[in-house]
Amino acid sequence: MNTANAFGFFLLGTAMQVLPLLGGVTPGEAASAQTLWLQVMSVVTGAIGGGYLLRVGVAEAAAVLSRIAERRAEAREQVAQENTQTMPVGVRVTF
């Protein structure tokens, strides 16, 4: 499955959930076996698509956070190297 398929599954599940409402069935009322089957399959289909999208989103978020952490570490190293001051030879420091 790819992201386009997952969006399709998720949108199909959402559409299947809305269809009984457009037909005049109130939420929570199972008017017929067809309506019940449509709602169950809409949850299954939407969960398949939504689960895949969630998994991909978490993986992408982890990759982005990892890149941000690497860049911050590099920036800290650069700042630490720039701020390193050496004492000239022969200079006496008294406190």
CA atoms within 13 A on the CB side of 82: 6
* Closest alpha carbon to 35 in 47, 23, 45: 23
Domains in the chain: boundaries: 3-81
Give the predicted TM-score (pTM) of the model: 0.64
pLDDT tens digits, residue range 4-50? 999 999 999 999 888 877 877 666 665 677 778 888 899 999 999 99
- Looking up tokens 């386009």 gives 4
